[in-house]
């Protein structure tokens, strides 16, 4: 935020022409994300924005428009992607979208010959190449840009911190746009705390269906049935086997299981010509089943493939599982995903959590929920170091996020007003009984939400959820909600303390005019007003004995305190007489 950056100019007529040529209708989320990116680019500080959108939700189009805007200002753009297949796909997309404009787009991966790579590198250093799309090869010391203005990192979860920091060192004032369906914990946490800006795309494309997801032990009969069902509707199947040395044996096993299926294999150790030939043949529907490694994980778009089978799903990361699932269901057909694990080996606790998460979040746009769960399972990592995951050792996560958020707000110069703490200590039994909410995590979550409530609507929301989940509220739970309401009321009137002091109840700080004081003392015999310390002491209701004397009428104390506070602080002491008579 402190570094100077390039402030890009307003949209040009060519920019509008490019956007009008987009063959699909933009979703509302997509439009707002595009506007946010453009607004960031126009600022005189370097952009650092994360676009979180599920697979197939239109993140590439945002990159196309941002890159074009940078090129309009005479800047170069580097698009960093994790796999050679995705380089080819993006190169095709960018070239088609820029076909009507004088923009020089080049690809750089191991598919290029040495002479082609040299030509691209020379073009970058001379400034004749406007947009370069490449894998990690872009990060080599041989890459020299004449005037780099924008770096786009696609599938950001596939790169290490060092890779991204290296790109920034190329040019300190560079704008960075990061895209991912499931951001790594470190990135997500930096976005939540405000260090990086976050745009989310939640609206699915038209006619997209959720992917039916099955998680369970591996069974040959089930695999054969899943493949045959896809063949019956003339579709294709991805079969993920992530061991190159045994991938041919896996393909032979599938040929035995389903003899009528045409099976091909693909992995990253194949020669580029052979790999490209297999992928093109699969694209042209010459094969029914592609047995492959996770080389197909990122960005691959084959709309006719609508069944995914993953072997040994227990050894994959959470974002990997979600990305793999995104390879199917990209058309109008209903898609199926099978995540299988060995039936004879026990699952580790982490593997169980991952598979349970992927099974629960199968609806459209689940990427953000998966990423948040990943953050919970793996921890947020090191904010200033290289670790992209890992738990904070001695500080609770909520406190840590709050501390970082405050530090960022102070640096930005924005004042964050924390609501004042309100101390309510009255002789009431207010809690969520264990037999009412059995889960400790859910109990703590309810307590946290009630403690953070700033309005009656917040409390009503918690009440509705408790009723819906657990049924009629017991007396202690009702008291807890009443205490939360009293706290909200006290905060509204600037009161931060309501406590028992012997036979009296203390309200502070509270300033009363002389006329109010006289009326209060006339209505409440024995009420004491201490103007110097802005404190009011009022005798407790007669039916409320000292703490520990006999069973208390809990709600009476809370109701009385709330009515008195509303009456006195609300400049209507007379109304307090009603509360006193009760």
The model's pTM is: 0.58
Domain boundary among 363, 385, 405: 363
Whether residue 322 sits in one domain with residue 176: no
In a domain, 241, yes or no: yes
CATH, residue 559: 3.90.1150.50
Cβ neighbors of 23 (< 8 A, separation 6 or more) are none
pLDDT of residue 575: 46
Q: Hey, which residues does 197 pair with through a beta bridge? A: 49
Pair (315, 435) in one structural domain: no
CA distance 112 to 123: 15
Token digits of residue 189: 């946490």
Measured CA to CA, the distance from residue 552 to residue 550 in angstroms comes to: 6
**Does any domain span residue 155?**
yes
List, for the chain, all residue ranges whose pLDDT scores fall below the cut of 50: 385-389, 544-552, 571-582
Answer whether residue 399 is part of any domain: no
Q: Dihedral, CA atoms, 234, 248, 238, 178, nearest 10 degrees?
A: -150
Is 328 a domain residue? Answer: yes
Task: Let me know whether 145 and 256 are in one domain.
Answer: no
Same domain, 46 and 152: yes
10 Å CB burial of residue 513 (0-12, 13-18, 19+) is exposed
- Give 295-345 as a DSSP string: GGSSS---TTEEEEEETTGGGS-HHHHHHHHTTS--SSS--EEEEEE-TTS
Residue 502 Ramachandran class (φ > 0 left, ψ -120 to 50 alpha, else beta) = left
Same structural domain, 359 and 485: no
For position 136, which CATH number holds? 3.40.50.300
Are residues 142 and 244 located together in one domain of the fold?
A: no
- Per residue in 57-115, pLDDT tens? 788 889 999 999 999 988 999 998 887 778 888 898 899 999 999 999 999 887 778 88
Same domain for 182 and 224, yes or no, is no
Domain end call among 345, 363, 381: 363
Assess if residue 525 is contained within a domain. Answer: yes
Q: DSSP string spanning 133-161? A: EESGGGGSTT---SSEEEEEEESGGGS-H
Identify the DSSP state of 474. Answer: P
Residue 288 and residue 149 share a domain: no
Question: Total domain count for the chain?
Answer: 3
**Domain that includes residue 166, residue range:** 13-201
Residue 415 inside a domain? The answer is: no
What is the C-alpha to C-alpha distance for residues 161 and 183, in angstroms, rounded to an integer? 13
- Separation CA 473–CA 456 (nearest Å): 18
Which segments of 301-455 does DSSP mark as H helices, in order?
318-325, 349-360, 367-378, 397-412, 440-451
pLDDT of residue 28: 85
Token output for 59: 């993140």
- Closest by CA to 40, choosing from 70, 77, 79, is 70
| Residues 25 and 134 occupy one common structural domain | yes
Whether residue 185 is found in the same domain as residue 135? yes
**Cβ neighbours of 108 (radius 10 Å):** 25
355 and 451 share a domain? no
pLDDT at residue number 161: 63
- pLDDT at position 450: 87
Instruction: Flag whether 152 is in a domain.
Output: yes
Residues 430, 303, single domain; the answer is no
């Amino acid at each position: 935020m402190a570094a100077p950056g390039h402030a890009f100019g307003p949209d040009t007529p060519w920019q509008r022409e490019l956007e009008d040529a987009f063959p699909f209708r933009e979703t509302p989320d997509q439009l707002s994300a595009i506007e946010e990116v453009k607004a960031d680019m126009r600022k005189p500080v370097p952009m650092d924005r994360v676009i979180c959108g599920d697979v197939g939700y239109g993140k590439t189009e945002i990159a196309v428009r941002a890159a074009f805007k940078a090129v309009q200002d005479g800047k170069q753009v580097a698009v960093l992607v994790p796999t050679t297949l995705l380089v080819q796909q993006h190169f095709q997309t960018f070239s088609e979208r820029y076909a009507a404009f004088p923009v020089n787009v080049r690809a750089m991966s191991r598919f290029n010959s040495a002479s082609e790579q040299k030509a691209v590198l020379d073009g970058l250093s001379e400034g004749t190449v406007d947009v370069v799309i490449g894998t990690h090869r872009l990060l080599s010391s041989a890459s020299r840009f004449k005037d780099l203005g924008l770096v786009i990192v696609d599938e950001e979860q596939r790169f290490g911190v060092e890779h991204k920091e290296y790109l920034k060192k190329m040019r300190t004032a560079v704008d960075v746009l990061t895209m991912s369906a499931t951001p790594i914990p470190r990135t997500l946490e930096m976005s939540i705390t405000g260090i990086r800006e976050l745009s989310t795309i939640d609206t699915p494309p038209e006619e997209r269906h959720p992917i039916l997801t099955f998680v369970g032990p591996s069974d040959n009969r089930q695999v054969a049935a899943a493949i045959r069902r896809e063949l019956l509707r003339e579709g294709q199947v991805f079969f993920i086997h992530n061991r190159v040395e045994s991938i041919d044996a896996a393909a032979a096993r599938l040929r035995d299981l389903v003899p009528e299926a045409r099976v091909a294999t693909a992995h990253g150790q194949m020669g580029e010509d052979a790999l490209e030939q297999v992928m093109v043949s699969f694209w042209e529907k010459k094969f029914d089943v592609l047995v492959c490694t996770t080389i197909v994980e990122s960005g691959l778009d084959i709309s006719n493939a609508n069944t995914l089978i993953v072997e040994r799903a227990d050894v994959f990361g959470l974002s990997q599982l979600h990305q793999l699932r995104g390879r199917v269901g990209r058309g109008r057909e209903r898609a199926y995903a099978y995540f299988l694990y060995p039936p004879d080996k026990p699952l580790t606790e982490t593997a169980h959590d991952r598979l349970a998460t992927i099974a629960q979040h199968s609806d459209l746009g689940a990427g953000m929920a998966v990423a948040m769960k990943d953050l919970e399972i793996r921890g947020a990592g090191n904010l200033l170091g290289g670790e992209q995951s890992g738990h904070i050792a001695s500080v609770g996560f909520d406190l840590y996020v709050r501390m970082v958020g405050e530090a960022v707000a102070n640096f930005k110069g924005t004042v964050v007003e924390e609501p004042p703490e309100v101390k309510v200590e009255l002789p009431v039994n207010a809690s969520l009984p264990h037999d009412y909410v059995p889960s400790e995590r859910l109990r703590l979550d309810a307590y946290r939400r009630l403690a953070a409530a700033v309005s009656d609507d917040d409390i009503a929301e918690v009440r509705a959820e408790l009723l819906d989940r657990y049924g009629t509220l017991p007396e202690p739970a009702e008291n807890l909600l009443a205490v939360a309401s009293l706290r909200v009321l006290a905060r509204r009137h600037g009161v931060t303390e309501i406590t028992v002091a012997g036979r009296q109840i203390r309200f502070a700080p509270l300033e009363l005019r002389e006329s109010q004081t006289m009326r209060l003392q006339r209505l409440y015999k024995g009420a004491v007003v201490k103007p110097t310390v802005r404190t009011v002491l009022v005798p407790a209701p007669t039916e409320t004995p000292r703490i520990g004397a006999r069973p208390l009428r809990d709600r009476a104390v809370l109701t009385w305190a709330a009515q008195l506070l509303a009456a006195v602080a609300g400049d209507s002491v007379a109304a307090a007489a009603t509360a006193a008579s009760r």
